[in-house]
Structure 1
């Protein structure tokens, strides 16, 4: 497993080890012992997935208490994170990551950092582990194309939910 810091304070990328042979490959997507040994001691309590088609953009969403470990189980997504924490040295900064079932990258997103993703493949399965149980009342939303943030997206006319418009 390889863990790297990103440009956003507290956001980490994690690349699990992959065992590959003539039959295919095997990936251990989470092992509490290994993550703790790497300095990631987040107590995850809930796993969620969303399945979407090409052109869908979900987010930017976040809350003040939940850590998320994000991965793409199938297909390819573009993940954007935006630091919304008032006390952060990288407040207002954003970063984008391309995550797929081929590169198996994971992104650890701390509380107060919004995340959103756009589907690049025909279909994708977005997966995330959460440190808190889902509480819609505690969530905040940042408009995906707010010019104040200048986030680059790989699509200009995404399919959006009512909330994300």
Structure 2
């Protein structure tokens, strides 16, 4: 498995581009190989859970994190497109409060590695999107928290207008998202 790894402004958040083999019949790529992933990224963690969500255009999920059992996430879009975001909420990190955003699509086959200790969210850009992600720890709803998608401290430049989205669709939980200051004061 050949992977191209791109470091982002948060050095341990990685964009991963797998080698895709395609012709007029379709395509094939290895979406995950533990050995190749560890060799290419330097990340040697065990994934314990795979998740699949489908959302409609304008749905914004996040920015989620767990205060205990923090999850590293390897995310990709199998159908459609999403703007995927990671926010560094590690208090002692030199990139604390910074965010990285990347478009993940069924065409570009990109994946994003979001290490444990970061908040994560995404905005669906197409009619629907199937979002797949592997996690390094189990979902623990009692420890899950949310930072507001539009927190002024983080100031994420969501591509709403660019995709004709007037207002993102949020869950009840995400409507109660905290500011970065509140979240990191816990």
Q: TM-score, normalised by structure 1?
A: 0.96
1:137 Cα deviation (Å)?
1.5
Higher relative contact order (CA 8 A, sep 6+): 1
Counterpart of 2:174 in 1: which secondary structure?
coil
Counterpart of 1:164 in 2: which secondary structure?
helix
2:119 is aligned with 1:111:
no
Q: Within 5 Å, which residues of 2 pair with 1:77-88?
A: 77-88=82-93
1:96 Cα deviation (Å)?
1.0
8 Å contact 1:9–1:89 — kept in the other structure? Answer: no
Aligned structure 1 segments of 4 or more residues deviating by more than 6 angstroms: none
Q: Which blocks of at least 5 consecutive residues in structure 1 are unaligned?
A: none
Q: Which blocks of at least 5 consecutive residues in structure 2 are unaligned?
A: 161-165, 176-186
Write the distance in 2 (CA, Å) between the matches of 1:7 and 1:140. 24
**CA distances 1:90-121 after superposition (whole Å, capped 9, x unpaired):** 00001110000100110100111111100001
Task: Tell me how many residue pairs correspond in the alignment.
Answer: 165
Equivalent in the alignment of 2:46: 43
Superposition CA RMSD, Å: 1.1
Write the distance in 2 (CA, Å) between the matches of 1:50 and 1:129. 12
1:62 Cα deviation (Å)?
1.2
1:69 Cα deviation (Å)?
0.3
Counterpart of 2:38 in 1: which secondary structure?
helix
